[in-house]
Amino acid sequence: MERVYSNDDARPEVLKGSRIAVIGYGSQGRAHARNLRDSGFDVVVGARAGGGASQRATADGFRVVSPSDAAREAQLVCLLTPDMSHREVYARDIEPNLSPGDTLLVAHGFSVLYGEVKPRADLDVVLVAPKGPGDLVRREFEIGRGVPSLFAVYQDATGSARDKALAYTWGNGGTRAGAIETTFKEETETDLFGEQAVLCGGATELVASGFKTLVDAGYKPEVAYFECLHELKLIVDLMYEGGFQKMLHFVSETAKYGDFVSGPRVINDETRERMKEVLSDIQDGSFARQWIAENQAGKPEYQRMWDEDLAQPIEQVGAELRKKMAWLRGEKEADPQPAPQAQPQAA
- Please give the positions annotated as active site: 108
Instruction: Confirm whether residue 25 is marked as ligand binding.
Output: yes
CA 304-310-311 angle, to 5 degrees, is 85
CA 83-156-9 angle, to 5 degrees, is 95
Instruction: Confirm whether residue 237 is marked as ligand binding.
Output: no
Half-sphere exposure of 323 (CA within 13 A, CB side): 6
Instruction: Show the beta-strand stretches assigned E in 80-219.
Output: 103-106, 124-130, 149-155, 179-181
- Integer-rounded Cα Rg, in Å, for the chain is 22
Instruction: Confirm whether residue 102 is marked as ligand binding.
Output: no
Residue type, 82: P
Q: Could you tell me if 43 and 37 are in contact, meaning their C-beta atoms sit under 8 angstroms apart?
A: yes
**Residues facing residue 196 across a β-bridge:** none
Instruction: Confirm whether residue 209 is marked as ligand binding.
Output: no
Instruction: Show the beta-strand stretches assigned E in the chain.
Output: 19-23, 42-46, 64-65, 76-79, 103-106, 124-130, 149-155, 179-181
Instruction: Confirm whether residue 195 is marked as ligand binding.
Output: yes
Instruction: Confirm whether residue 55 is marked as ligand binding.
Output: no
Instruction: Confirm whether residue 134 is marked as ligand binding.
Output: yes
Binding site listing for Mg(2+): 191, 195, 227, 231
Binding site listing for NADP(+): 25-28, 48, 134
Binding site listing: 25-28, 48, 134, 191, 195, 227, 231, 252
Binding site listing for substrate: 252
